[in-house]
Structure 1
């Protein structure tokens, strides 16, 4: 599948002397600077009817610039009929409530059965959009809200909004230990120096900031609401582990599950049976890339986390002197 792109505009006085690629990014903000540069180098950009294939060339007021390009298929994964919990959809974006166990991108060991495969089946035209429109990701066993762009233009706007921290992402988590008050973890994250499948707080890593507040306290655990200022791999899981409060059930950072002493058998069974990180993307807010309307969605807490929360409440009630 391909899509023909035909754009036209005139250079303004304020743009005189600017680089061509910079100017085109201003004139056609629906497309990323990277894509515009590719079009320039491919000879798809014309100034006053002449091909202009040098991104650094300076432009002049009154020049007419046109782009005649073709959007080629970007995503090579296979379409698969996989059920999606769609919260919202229009011609530009799609908001889903991702289930546990669903991998976002195909990769080693996961060439099929991913969210990308499902998106290609649900919305075939999305194959023209890089990464099938996926703007941000959730770990395999993290549940909750994700926004997907159905067009290149929508993706460009959403990626820019994400980088500008104009998209609000709130999570709910259950962590070990009792946290007295909320706070912020502002620590850089990158690959673990020796465990290559792990991420870690490292001094020369990428900046990462997580805000958290206490939603509910139990005798040996805490339910948190968290908000991201950045979106590093495993960010919440790494930051919570860094301050000594790992997510319940986290198979990578929590180690062996340790239920509190004196727990009743039914609590022990529920706690030990929780086999994923207790993390859910509960709220998403953004400006619609086409209408600019502020839109917000909430996803209900999944049943397994509801069951765990109820068990923690009962355990706290059954052990008031300890609490």
Structure 2
């Protein structure tokens, strides 16, 4: 058993929801039935008051605190799923996550996740909350993640994330021509009607994304981005908000937009790219135990390389038509 403490604020967009429904959205790692059990057993504080009725309606803005004892992660099955290990020592490991791989079990993905793989390859990691996972990547986002192998390492890494002492950089391909770099400082919350989406909203949680232009194409831009915060879908939501959604993004991207005069093969390459063009390429942090500054890089995956090469070829073929 280990003690688990969760805290968050009810989103303004959750006005009128049942308490158990709102909490299952705020804490998607835990099933609604488990959350309902916590409520009934007086484990949930709303504005520092115990609320034990799952049907209680929320107004938005309430402060939620949950303190419970949870069994080790043995209720998730260990699975022999290969992991691409970039670095490992007694305290941490860094993985290069592939596409089609969810980080943590949740609704619709009870197994086949990074967590299931960690439990198989590192059985002792079951003693660490969330099997050592301290930050996430979306299912089809590839690249670098750090995992804690001990509770001490996990405690320090979570603190470093909160203090913004872990640097995460991404590469992406966005729709449209972006002429210069910039910063997007816009709060993010759950979409008021599309519950699987996030959205920029004035009363959301602070979110800051920095970006710079790496390469411009005829109707697309290759970007390097750095996260200052780590909200769900942050880069994807922020880029869509400034009208430059990521290529292939199934939630925020819309239909492919080939430039005029594009070849059939190039158009097909755009259509075939079926995930958000986003890769966590650099991770830098102070080792949670030794304090040593460490940095890792993950090369761009083959599917993104193919997309980039196609964009470069199309741009070269039409370079005489460019006005930038």
**Number of aligned pairs?**
256
1:180 alignment counterpart: 179
TM-score by length of 2: 0.77
Alignment partners' CA distance in 2, 1:74 and 1:159: 18
Alignment partners' CA distance in 1, 2:321 and 2:130: 50
SS in 1 for 2:319: coil
Confirm or deny: 8 A CA contact 1:135 1:158 kept in the other structure. Answer: yes
Call closer, same or farther: CA 1:202–1:75 in 2, change over 3 Å: farther
1:124 alignment counterpart: 123
Distance apart, 1:183 and its partner CA: 0.2
Alignment partners' CA distance in 2, 1:276 and 1:72: 35
SS in 1 for 2:111: coil
List runs of 5+ in structure 2 lacking aligned partners. Answer: 3-68
2:11 alignment counterpart: none
Distance apart, 1:74 and its partner CA: 4.3
List runs of 5+ in structure 1 lacking aligned partners. Answer: 4-69
Matches within 5 A, 1:1-323: 73-74=72-73, 76-323=75-322
Alignment partners' CA distance in 2, 1:300 and 1:163: 27
Alignment partners' CA distance in 2, 1:106 and 1:315: 40
Confirm or deny: 8 A CA contact 2:135 2:145 kept in the other structure. Answer: yes
Confirm or deny: 8 A CA contact 2:248 2:273 kept in the other structure. Answer: yes
Distance apart, 1:322 and its partner CA: 3.2
Alignment partners' CA distance in 2, 1:102 and 1:268: 27
Call closer, same or farther: CA 1:101–1:118 in 2, change over 3 Å: same
Alignment partners' CA distance in 2, 1:208 and 1:176: 21
Distance apart, 1:76 and its partner CA: 2.3
Confirm or deny: 8 A CA contact 1:75 1:131 kept in the other structure. Answer: no
Query: Runs in 1 of length 4+ with deviation above 6 angstroms?
Result: none
Distance apart, 1:321 and its partner CA: 3.4
Alignment partners' CA distance in 1, 2:254 and 2:293: 40
Confirm or deny: 8 A CA contact 2:175 2:257 kept in the other structure. Answer: no
SS in 1 for 2:266: helix
SS in 2 for 1:125: helix
Q: CA RMSD in A?
A: 1.5
